[in-house]
Amino acid sequence: MKPAESYEAVRKQHRWRVPVRFNMGVAVCDRQRQRDVALIHPKADGNTDEYTFGDLKRLSNRLANVLLAHGLNVGDRVGILLPQAPETTVAHIAIYKAGLVAMPLFVLFGADALDYRLADSGARALITDRANAAKIVEIRDRLPDLELVLSIDGPCDDGASGALDFHRELAGVSDKFDAVDTLAEQPGLLIYTSGTTGPPKGALHAHRILIGHMPGVEMIFDFFPRPGDVAWTPADWAWIGGLYDVMMPALYRGVPQVINPPGKFDAEAAFDLIARFGINVAFLPPTALKLMRQVANPRDRWNYSLRTVFSGGEALGTELMGWGRETLGVTINEAYGQTECNVIVGCCGGIMTPPHGSMGRASPGHDLAILDENGARVPPGELGSICCKAPDPVMFLEYWKQPEATRDKFVTDAKGDKWLVTGDTAKQDEEGWIYFIGRDDDVITSSGYRIGPAEVEDCLFAHPAVALSAVIGVPDPARTERVKAFVILNDGFEPSDDLAREVQEHVKYRLAAHEYPRDVEFVSELPMTTTGKIKRKVLREREVAKQAAQ
């Protein structure tokens, strides 16, 4: 994207150029200048490793050869259960180059969450580390399709996971590989969304997803790339935001990026990292910004110079935006999207000043509208669902093995045009500014994570004390929302603080550490529809009223 003086000029100059054949792995690695630095890896011992694009090419070629040598074929799914790490990048590149389908998985997932995704996808291989390979031990017999597990730091001590040593396997094969000449429409990514009324759904994306992301990413990063750019995000690469708003676009544009240190986000360490490596392009989720805002006098303590910052996933508010201008020295650009259709709304601080409460305008190349349930446009200022006209290069292909859910994701208007329905309520003014109102479904947004209540409820149901449960998000000043569970107990169990903690630990261990209910309330009944569905909306309204009364 060329710099322009106005949003209208940016929109006017944009043209989609999606070739018939396109391979993301080749585009982000093999076509780059091989001597340029691609990854900067700060290590726990204080040293730093750098990986050039040439290094990534050789390593990804070796991994592609390993995967094919173990019998994987074009279209097979490969799980990536790793934090931000050089091997994570290598895995994505290799999988794409080999014509396989990458399936990122969050390292906080427990055995049940991994079991569902690996089984549902029919994944034939998994790339992970020793700690996460240990989670596979108890579910391995339920995963008949999983034939290969590679661990980047060696196999489990007992070897029960069957994990092979990643680096040893790579050392034994050639670093030459002829990438598969994939179609742009060929599947390359399977990423699971948070389930609301059912289990998580796998959003299947084509190789063109990278091209589809670029106009939005280039706008929200203020005409990315610029000379001297160094990128970073603390957002996990298992999610669409960290992976396709930063990691893959930075590689595609030849921009070096800093790998985020593992572990819990540390606001002071974040300022230190930004200053130490000259990071000037950053995606900072709202929760990270809120924590960084609590650091005293950062400008006096660190010498940093950010060029552009964007945030998304939840509204920032005027105070946080003001802090960004004063302390970070930038106008934080907000953006909006979802796993199925990402970065379709955004802002560019250099040329756009959004009205109060607006998250931006349609990203270049995307045709958006606010539609009612029948697919008709609503007048300016009225509420409807954010919809994106199909086809669109950033749009998913389908929900994995769920044709009915795929059909339900789209609506056709009176003219016969097809629109993807995001399920998010918004309004749009006459100038095209979009104002986010809320979700139509029950997805919980907590600390930047999107959590589906159905999966948490399923996990709760597996506890012997739980007869029935309902999970909602309740307002929380630090997390936007926190997970709360309303639980009806089976006969023979009595409510207690100890039982509440036991239920919490059950979810934390079986499902994911970020999804466990921070609040547990034991109840005798739940609000239901006449067809037996839980009215989560009623529970949310009660909690909001309760907080207001307090």
Six token digits for residue 226:
């610029």
Is residue 356 situated within a structural domain?
no
**Taking 70 as the threshold, does the pLDDT of residue 115 lie above it?**
yes
Contact 251, 29 (CB under 8 A): yes
Model confidence over 335-345: pLDDT tens digits? Answer: 999 999 999 99
Per residue in 40-73, pLDDT tens?
Answer: 999 989 999 999 999 999 999 999 999 999 999 9
345 CB-side CA count, 13 A: 28
CA pair distance 267, 217, nearest whole angstrom = 24
Task: Examine the domain organization and report whether 30 and 179 are in the same domain.
Answer: yes
Q: Is residue 357 part of a domain?
A: no
Q: Give yes or no: residues 323 and 398 share one domain.
A: no
Residues 433 and 480 in one domain: no
Residue-number span of the structural domain to which 415 is assigned: 367-439
CA-nearest of 23, 26, 98 to 56 is: 26
Residues 249 and 177 in one domain: yes
Contact (Cβ atoms closer than 8 angstroms) between residue 271 and residue 295: yes
165: three-class secondary structure by DSSP: strand
pTM of the model: 0.86
190, 77 contact by CB (below 8 A)? yes
Residue 531 has pLDDT above 50, yes or no: no
Beta strands 398-399 and 37-42: pairing type? Answer: unpaired
Q: What is the pLDDT of residue 161?
A: 74
What confidence tens digit (pLDDT) does each residue in 497-530 have?
Answer: 999 999 999 999 999 889 999 999 999 998 875 4
What's the pLDDT at 348? 96
Residue from 76, 319, 354, 103 nearest 204 by CA: 103
Q: Per-residue pLDDT for 549 more than 90?
A: no
In 3D space, the residue among 306, 290, 165 whose CA is nearest the CA of residue 228 turns out to be 306
178: tokens are: 């002829």
Rounded CA-CA distance 384/357 in Å is 17
In this structure, the answer to whether residues 400 and 448 fall within a common structural domain is no
pLDDT in tens, 153-177: 987 765 567 899 999 999 999 999 9
Unique residue bearing structure tokens 């994306």: 205
Give the separation between CA 87 and CA 150, rounded to whole angstroms: 11
Q: Which whole number is the average pLDDT over 327-349?
A: 96
Is 199 inside a domain boundary?
Answer: yes
Extract the runs of DSSP E, i.e. beta strands, from 325-448.
333-338, 341-346, 361-362, 368-371, 384-389, 398-399, 410-412, 418-428, 434-439, 444-446
271 and 219 inside one domain: yes
Confidence of residue 534 (pLDDT cuts 50, 70, 90): confident
The CATH code of the domain that includes 79 is 3.40.50.12780
Tokens encoding 15: 């043209």
Task: Specify if 505 maps to a domain.
Answer: yes
Last residue within a domain, chosen from 439, 473, 494 = 439
State the pLDDT at residue 159: 59
Residues 164 and 177 in one domain: yes
What total of structural domains would you count in the chain? 3
Q: What is the mean pLDDT of the chain?
A: 93
Asked whether residue 259 is assigned to any structural domain, the reply reads: yes
Q: Evaluate whether 164 touches 176 at the Cβ level (below 8 Å).
A: no
Q: Highest mean pLDDT range out of 272-276, 285-289, 319-323, 452-456?
A: 272-276
At 488, give phi and psi (nearest 5°). Answer: -100, 125
Domain harbouring 376, CATH code: 2.30.38.10
pLDDT exceeds 80 at position 194: no
* Of 406, 452, 434, 413, residue with least CA distance to 347: 434
In-domain check, residue 394: yes
Same-domain pairing of 431 and 460: no
Alpha helices in 98-182 (DSSP H): 111-121, 130-136, 166-171
Q: Is residue 413 part of a domain?
A: yes
Tokens representing 248? 């893959």
- Tokens 């669409």 — which residue? 240
Q: What is the mean pLDDT of residues 233-246?
A: 95
**Average pLDDT for 363-386:** 94
Residue 143 pLDDT greater than 50, yes or no: yes
Determine the pLDDT at residue 228: 98
Residues 90 and 194 reside in one and the same domain: yes
Domain end (from 406, 421, 439):
439
User: In the prediction, which pLDDT does 450 show?
Assistant: 75
Which of 353-367, 392-406, 429-443 is predicted least confidently? 429-443
What is the average per-residue pLDDT within 204-228?
98
**Considering the domain boundaries, does residue 56 fall inside one?**
yes
164/221 same-domain check: yes
Instruction: Give me the amino acid identity at 87.
Output: E
pLDDT (tens digit per residue) in 429-481: 999 999 987 666 677 888 878 787 878 887 898 899 998 888 999 998 888 89
Same domain, 165 and 234: yes
What pLDDT, on the 0 to 100 scale, is given for residue 225? 98
Of 33-37, 135-139, 154-158, 325-329, the poorest mean pLDDT is in 154-158
Domain boundary among 389, 424, 439: 439
Same domain, 389 and 448: no
Provide the CATH number for the domain around residue 521: 3.30.300.30
